[in-house]
C-alpha cells in the first residue's frame, strides 16, 4: 500500500489525497501514465517514482480505467499480440468535462442568486447553489469555545472575498449540528462599507423558509445567529440583509 512507502511522508500523502479531481488534474496525470507504465515494464519501483500519479489513479475511477486500457495495449504490444484494427476509434475523454463547473461559471451562478434592492441584499438559495458554496476548509465558527466542537463542520459558506469585484457586505456561514445532523446553525456577519465593530448592532437579517420567517438583528460585532435550522429548509431559503 502507498502508506507503507518510505519515499514520502504522511503529510505528502494527505496533501495528495486532498487534491480535487479537477479537469486539469486528470489531464496532468493522464500525461504521466506512459512513464508510469514504462517503469512497471522495466522493473523499476514505479509507485516510488510516480507517487502522485499512483495516488490519483487509486482515487479517480475514470483515469484508473484509462490507465488499465493503456496498460493492456502496451502489454499486448510487448507480447506482439496486438489485434489488427481496420478502424481505430478516437479516444473519448468527454468524462473530463462531465459535471465540471468552471470557476467563472461558479461565480456567475453565485452572483445571479444575489439581488441588491436599495439598502437591502437578498440571497435566494437553491440546492445547486448550496453545493457550489461548500465545503470551504479552515474556517472556524464565531461561537463560544464550548460550542466549537458541536459546530465544527461547515455546511456551506458565502464569503465576499471569494467574489472578485463584489460589494457584498456580509458573510454567511452554515455549520452542521454534530448532535442533530439534520440541523445547522447559520451565522450572518454584516460589515457595511465604512462601518466597523463594535457599532454594528441593529442590522436586520431575515431568514425566510417555506413555512416560516425568522427575524434577527445583529449584535455590536455585526453578527446574527439562527439556531436549529433544518438543512432541508435552508437549501431553498431566502436570506435578506438590510443595512
**Domain limits, the chain:** 2-96, 103-242
What angle in degrees, to the nearest 10, is found between the helix axes of 10-17 and 51-59? 40
What pLDDT score was predicted for residue 207? 94
Angle at 78 between CA 75 and CA 82, to 5 degrees: 75
Kindly report the CA angle at 135 between 180 and 184, in degrees rounded to 5? 25
Among 78, 66, 58, which residue's Cα sits nearest to residue 33?
66
- pLDDT tens, N- to C-terminus, the chain (243 residues): 344 444 445 555 555 555 555 667 777 878 888 888 888 888 788 777 787 888 777 777 788 888 888 888 877 777 665 555 556 566 665 555 544 456 677 788 888 889 988 889 999 998 888 888 876 454 444 444 345 678 888 888 988 887 776 788 999 999 988 888 899 999 999 988 888 888 899 999 999 998 789 999 999 999 999 999 998 898 889 999 998
CA dihedral in degrees (127, 131, 135, 136; nearest 10)?
-100
pTM attached to this predicted model: 0.55
202: left (phi over 0), alpha (psi -120 to 50) or beta: left
Q: Are 169 and 241 in contact (CB under 8 A)?
A: yes
- What is the maximum span of the chain, computed from C-alpha positions, in angstroms? 79
3-state class (DSSP) for residue 235: coil
Q: What's residue 81's pLDDT?
A: 59
Q: What is the DSSP code string of 185-221?
A: EEEEEE--TT--TTS-TT-EEEEE-SS-EEEEE--TT
pLDDT in tens, 157-215: 988 887 776 788 999 999 988 888 899 999 999 988 888 888 899 999 999 998 789 99
Cα distances (angstroms) measured from residue 2 to each of 46, 56, 100, 111: 11, 11, 28, 42
Measured distance CA(242)–CA(100) in Å, rounded: 35
Per the rule left: phi > 0, alpha: psi between -120 and 50, beta: everything else, 162 is alpha
Q: Which of 109, 163, 113 is nearest to 132 (CA)?
A: 109
Closest CA to 114 of 170, 32, 40: 170
DSSP-derived 3-state class of residue 166? coil
Helix, strand, or coil here: 91?
A: coil
pLDDT at residue 229, as a whole number: 92
For the chain, the average pLDDT equals: 77
Q: How far apart are CA 8 and CA 218, in angstroms?
A: 49
Amino acid at each position: 500500500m502507498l502508506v507503507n512507502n518510505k519515499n514520502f511522508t504522511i503529510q505528502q500523502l494527505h496533501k495528495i489525497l486532498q487534491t480535487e479531481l479537477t479537469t486539469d488534474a486528470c489531464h496532468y496525470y493522464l500525461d504521466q501514465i506512459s512513464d508510469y507504465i514504462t517503469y512497471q515494464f522495466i522493473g523499476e519501483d514505479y509507485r516510488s517514482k510516480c507517487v502522485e500519479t499512483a495516488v490519483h489513479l487509486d482515487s479517480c475511477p475514470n483515469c484508473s480505467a484509462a490507465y488499465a486500457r493503456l496498460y493492456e495495449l502496451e502489454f499486448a504490444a510487448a507480447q506482439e499480440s496486438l489485434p489488427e484494427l481496420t478502424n481505430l476509434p478516437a479516444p473519448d475523454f468527454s468524462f473530463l468535462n462531465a459535471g465540471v463547473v468552471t470557476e467563472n461559471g461558479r461565480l456567475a451562478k453565485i452572483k445571479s442568486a444575489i439581488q441588491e434592492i436599495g439598502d437591502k441584499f437578498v440571497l435566494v438559495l437553491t440546492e445547486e447553489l448550496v453545493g457550489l458554496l461548500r465545503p470551504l476548509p479552515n474556517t472556524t465558527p464565531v461561537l463560544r469555545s464550548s460550542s466549537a466542537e458541536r459546530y465544527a463542520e461547515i455546511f456551506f459558506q458565502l464569503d465576499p472575498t471569494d467574489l472578485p469585484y463584489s460589494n457584498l457586505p456580509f458573510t454567511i456561514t452554515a455549520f452542521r449540528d454534530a448532535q442533530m445532523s439534520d440541523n445547522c446553525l447559520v451565522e450572518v456577519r454584516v460589515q457595511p462599507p465604512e462601518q466597523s465593530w463594535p457599532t454594528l448592532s441593529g442590522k436586520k437579517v431575515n431568514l425566510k423558509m417555506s413555512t416560516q420567517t425568522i427575524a434577527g438583528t445583529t449584535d455590536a460585532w455585526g453578527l446574527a445567529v439562527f439556531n436549529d435550522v433544518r438543512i432541508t429548509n435552508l437549501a431553498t431559503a431566502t436570506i435578506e440583509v438590510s443595512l
